[in-house]
Structure 1
Amino acid sequence: MGTERVKNAAVAALVAATLAGGVLMLVTEEHDAPPPAPGPAARARAAAVAGAPASRAELDALIRDRTRWLRAHPGDEESWAALGTAYAERGAWWADWAALARAESALNRSLRERPAAAGNTEALLGLAVLAGARQDFATARDAAVRAQQQRPRRWTVYRALIDAQSGVGAYKAVHGALDRLTALYQGSQSRALAAQVYRERGWREDASANAYDAVAAAAGTTERAVALRRLGDLAWERGEPREAVAGYDAALRLAPELHPARAGRARALAALGRTDAALAEYRAALTRFPLPEYALEAGELYESLGRHEEAEESYAAVLETADRAERYGVDQTLTRGRYEADHGDPDEAVRLLTDAWEAGRRSTQIADGLGWALYRAGRADEALPYAKRATKEGLRSPLFAYHRGQIERSLGLYGSARRNIGTALRVNPFFSPLLVPPARSALASLGEPPGGGPRRMTGREALYPAGRGRQGAAGSRWWGSGGAR
């Protein structure tokens, strides 16, 4: 490429950008060349260098810039990798599924120019991005591991590993990758990733502290908006909808296109009883970003309000948008499974989620979904181990706790059922407009635990005459071998 390639390496090295939660990250740090002319492409480069999110306009500017460059320099494997990864990010972030095919084409071209075995780390990370966008986390992990072997001191490699390992449920590996990442890099995005990992582990205070640090350290507008949206998510999960709305509002003022913040705002508004405003937010999100999970949430809100015709329209949209995503290779197993379990064919949900589990996709979300699908299909005994796994990995999800509690209730494990359904309502008393009423009803039907405490608690129960200190022992599995132990 000669001198011209070196002079343009600053944009070419926008480079091996990698997507993790919708961010553009620089993975080729060694080039030293003048930045592009001021404008969106330059801002995208600055965001990439910091490992920070780029706006859609900035990302599109990068795509245009690399496309122009490659017309004249078709042998530049780094620019093909940058272009492919940028397309993958656009597909994942903006539900532009057609962009994923362009991403695959560009990344394959990069690998033809320079094979992975010859050290094309940028293309490997681009493949990890693409596979993650398609929810193919096993492939994403394989690509990220190969990239790590080539460049073990590049921090963005560990970001790709964290996302992929989370997707397959390898949570110990996630923590190891975070330790390596934080040893290499201490910036805003390191704090954001720590918040994500600590949330999955159930360490809410640590997650919140790191999320606030990420906001304080954010440099660009979009980076700050994404960090504020994360604060909104954490507030929502704590059952604090007013604080969540404040976080989402702050994020949307900076980045009105940030659709996860808009959908989060809809959830929080529904919890506050502002259902018309919540439905308007769902419609706004779905108009530009037709994601199946948003259609499912909107349908359940409509159903909770008794607006069944509109609920059915939303449920139909779940299937339509999932079909469209799948035509471009985006796996929709989890959303389809949740839809079928509660609103369609539970046996189909079991089939879908069992296939995912057996293929190695063993995240807490898949475990919970499979357990609930088995329960809804009348197979509660088989469901319980999956529900237990989902609640024991660390993530403090009220939905998971509710699902486990209802499964246990059906099996007569009343003490454990009472504890888990109660936990769901304590963690977030608004966790689902459709499920909170049955959760309250189930908890009321279970009543208060009988007095006297469980047997074999102290080892001194034999000192008491029969019937004293063991009230309620007869006829209740809560006492003894049931769920209270």
Structure 2
Amino acid sequence: MPHHATAPPSTPQPSQARRRLRSTAVVLALGAVMFTVGAVALNPNGGTAAQPTATARAAGPAPGSIQALQARVTRLPKDPGGWAALGMAYVQQGRTTADPATYARAEKALRTSLTVQGTDNTDAEIGMGALAAARHDFPTALDWALKATTSDPYSASAHGVLADAYTQLGRYDKADEAVQQMADLRPDAASLARASYAFELKGDTKQARDLMRRSLTAAATPADSAFARAVLASLALQDGDAQGALTEAQNGLRAAPGDAALLEARARAYEALGDTPKAVADYRAAIAIAPLPHYLLGLGELEQSLGHRDQAEAQYTLLRAQDRIRGNNKAPADADAILFEADHGNPQQAVTMAEEALRTRPFIAVHDAYAWALHRAGRDTEALEHADRALALGTHSALYHYHRAAIQDALGHLEDARQDLAQALRQPGFHPLHASDARALLQRIDTSE
């Protein structure tokens, strides 16, 4: 896909930079990485990176593709923008393929750009921030984002990376300010997506949906549109609307039939509707495109719930192999890896993984995973503190509520457990294994009183 030119920035009024994100001003005419949902990955010029279609590849390298960018830096080895664009393209490829080696290529390209132009190289600074975020090194991502917003205060993309870093570091007010600034500078699909996520984290799924629909309308590339549809499907599931989730995923797949995130979203919708054969087929199709950990875990636990132990174990074997690679690279675990270890491995090891992750990513998803690991390790008093932190913003996560319900039950807080279970079961098929556990726990609590 060709890069989109950055619109000439208008000079913001001083009050704009100080405004907090607000629902009325997300009259922003409106997104990783936003993590848990994911973020629209910005290229240095502000568009979203996308892989060329098979037809485009047959016709030759598409402008903006990795092949075209490699040719560009070969032809113009002293072009810092070319190296930065190549590095960012590798970051996006690494996110979609789960191949850590791609990140090494990204870093090499970005550092070459910084060698060619060591100061005021906003594109490379944005790329380094995005790379650090993709590696879950959010303190470093923040450092690079601050450099980028200093070298170009009017770069919307730089403020997007800044917002992502602040979000994952648990500095949600600062993240809101960065999203607002991004939207003030350029109210496009990417800023609207991040604004949507800010409201989703706070449990305002209606506002999140409205903003994501505006992001869909503003989408300039097929990748932007596919991302918006996948998020809309996820938001529908959070509200217990499995049929609505299926419709969003189907609409997205008609335009982007090979999009892994949309296939995974449709798999979860089919699962919630009880159509497990179609859910399994979509999970397998998504994994064939991008073997991301949460796809593998989703399919493995669905297969396990169906009694397909061998098929489940095949996914778990891949997850363990991916985690060994992560450990060898000294990278912190993500929430899915921690939950997998807690449920299918050694809970104490999961506790250790979570403690390491929290040092560089004190985000709500990691607090939830840490809470669950502590619960599985029999440390429920400590677990409750982190379960509360995971839900402190008001997030509508059925899984988080179930985790806290199980912890509350273990501590004898039955009424609190019942309230969390009611929230979790607003999404009846929220998890292939834990949904039935939640129903059984609620029945036990009701019959014990």
TM-score by length of 1: 0.80
Query: What is the deviation of 1:361?
Result: 1.4
Aligned pair 1:64/2:60, yes or no? no
Structure 2 partner of 1:221: 222
Q: Deviations over 1:163-187 (max 9, x none)?
A: 1122222211111111212222222
- Contact 1:12–1:66 (CA<8 Å) still a contact in 2? no
**Aligned position for 1:354:** 355
* Alignment match, 2:402: 402
Q: Separation in 1 of the partners of 2:367 and 2:181?
A: 28
Residue in 1 that maps onto 2:289 = 288
Structure 2 CA distance for aligned equivalents of residues 441 and 84 of structure 1 = 50
**Amino acid of the residue matched to residue 114 of structure 2?**
L
Residue of structure 1 in register with 2:442 after alignment? 443
Paired residues, what number? 413
Q: Is 2:304 the counterpart of 1:303?
A: yes
Cα displacement (A) at 1:265 = 1.0
Partner of residue 99, structure 1 = 102
64-73 or 300-309, which deviates more? 64-73
Equivalent residues in 2 for 1:253-402, closer than 5 Å: 253-324=254-325, 331-357=332-358, 359-402=359-402
Identical positions, percent: 35
AA of the residue aligned to 2:434: L
Q: CA deviation at 1:132?
A: 1.6
Q: C-alpha distance in 1, partners of 2:221/2:337?
A: 36
Q: Supply the AA of the counterpart residue of 2:392.
A: K
> Shift of residue 324 of structure 1?
4.1
For 2:332 and 2:355, the matched residues in 1 are separated by 14
C-alpha distance in 1 between matches for 2:175 and 2:365: 16
Would the aligned equivalents of 1:293 and 1:318 in 2 still touch at CA under 8 Å? no
Map 1:33-72 → 2, pairs under 5 A: 48=46, 51-52=47-48, 54-57=50-53, 61=62, 62=64, 63-72=66-75
Deviation per residue, 1:79-134 (Å, 9 max, x gap) = 1111111111111123343321111111111111121xx21111111101111221
Alpha-carbon offset, residue 449 of structure 1: 10
Give matches, 1:456-467, under 5 Å. none
Structure 2 residue identity aligned to 1:351 = T
Contact conserved, 1:53 with 1:226, CA < 8 A, in 2? no
Higher relative contact order (CA 8 A, sep 6+): 2
Helix, strand or coil at the partner of 1:392: coil
Larger Rg: 1
Distance 1:114 1:219, change over 3 A: closer
Cα distance, 1:326 vs structure 2 = 5.4
Aligned residue runs from structure 1 range 243-254, under 5 A: 243-254=244-255
Residue identity matched to 1:277: K
Alignment of 1:93-172 (within 5 A): 93-115=96-118, 118-172=119-173
Q: Which runs of 4+ in 1 moved over 6 A?
A: 10-14
CA distance in structure 1 between the aligned counterparts of 2:91 and 2:49, rounded to whole angstroms: 14
Shift in Å at residue 26 of structure 1? 5.4
Residue 11 of structure 1 and its aligned partner are, at CA, apart by 6.8
Tell me which residue corresponds to 1:173. 174
Relative to structure 1, is the Cα distance of residues 26 and 314 closer, same or farther in structure 2, using a 3 angstrom cutoff?
Answer: closer
Are the counterparts in 1 of residues 406 and 417 from structure 2 also a CA contact under 8 Å? yes
1:456 paired residue number: none
Question: Is 1:88 the equivalent of 2:98?
Answer: no
1:39 is matched with: none
Do the aligned residues in 1 keep the contact of 2:39 with 2:194 (CA within 8 Å)?
A: no
Matched letter for residue 145 of structure 2? A
Quote how far apart the aligned CAs of 1:229 are.
1.7
Using the alignment, how far apart are the partners of 1:324 and 1:56 within structure 2?
A: 28
RMSD: 2.4
The answer to whether the 8 A contact 1:191-1:211 is kept is yes
Q: Is the 8 A contact 1:372 1:383 kept in 2?
A: yes
When normalised by structure 2's length, the TM-score is: 0.86
Task: Assess, with a 3 A threshold, how the Cα gap between structure 1 residues 314 and 72 changes in structure 2: closer, same or farther.
Answer: closer
- Note the 1:463-478 alignment, pairs <5 A: none
| Structure 1 residue 323: Cα displacement | 3.1
Change (3 A) 1:424 1:213: same
Confirm or deny: 8 A CA contact 2:91 2:131 kept in the other structure. Answer: yes
* Contact 2:91–2:102 (8 Å) recurs in 1: yes
Structure 1 window deviating more from structure 2 (410-419 vs 312-321): it is 312-321
Whole-Å separation in 2 of the counterparts to 1:53 and 1:11? 8
